[in-house]
Amino acid sequence: MRDGINIAKLGIPAVSLVTEEFWPQGDFVAESLGMPEIPRVQLPHPIAGTSTQNIKQVAAEIAPAVIKALEANND
């Protein structure tokens, strides 16, 4: 979340990827850094340490949402 906000503050369209377990923390960080509306896409939890195949599958599933958020962010 913090990385996404830092990139967004540079004027570069950004989407934060946040797992469902960390979604409330993401909201807290976005609020505390003054960018509560930073676009974000939810990932299943856990993601770290799951198989390469699973991560590829998750990536394929969320890619449209990431692109959509980036396009909206660029308007």
Partner 1 sequence: MTELLNASDEAEALEDLHRRGLTDGLPVIIPTPARVTRMVLASGFDADMVLGTMGPGHGIATIEKVAVAAVMSGCLPDYMPVVLAAVKAVIDPIFDLTEMQATTHCTAPLIIVNGPARHTCGPISSGYGALGPGHRANASIGRALRLAMINIGGGRPGTSDMALLGHPGKFTFCLAEDEENSPFPPMHIDLGFEADDSVVTVIGAEAPHSVIFSGDGDDPESYKALLNMLAIGIANAGTNNAILTGGTATIVLNPEHAAILDQAGLTRQDIAEGIYQRSSMTEKEISRLAPGFARKDSGNRDAFKGPEQLLILMSGGSGLYSMVMPSWCAGAHKNSASSVKVESEFFCEVPGLAAQTI
Query: What residues numbered 27-46 form the site for partner 1, per CB under 8 A?
Result: 27-29, 32-33
DSSP string, 52-67: HHHHHHHHHHHHHHHH
Is residue 7 near partner 1 by the rule CB under 8 A?
Answer: no
Alpha helices (H) along the chain: 2-9, 23-32, 52-74
Question: Six-digit token pair at 46?
Answer: 């856990």
Other C-beta atoms closer than 10 Å to the C-beta of 52 total 7
Among 7, 13, 22, 47, binds partner 1 (CB under 8 A): 22
Quote the least distance from Cβ 32 to partner 1, whole Å. Answer: 5
Among 10, 37, 49, 51, binds partner 1 (CB under 8 A): 49
Quote the least distance from Cβ 20 to partner 1, whole Å. Answer: 13
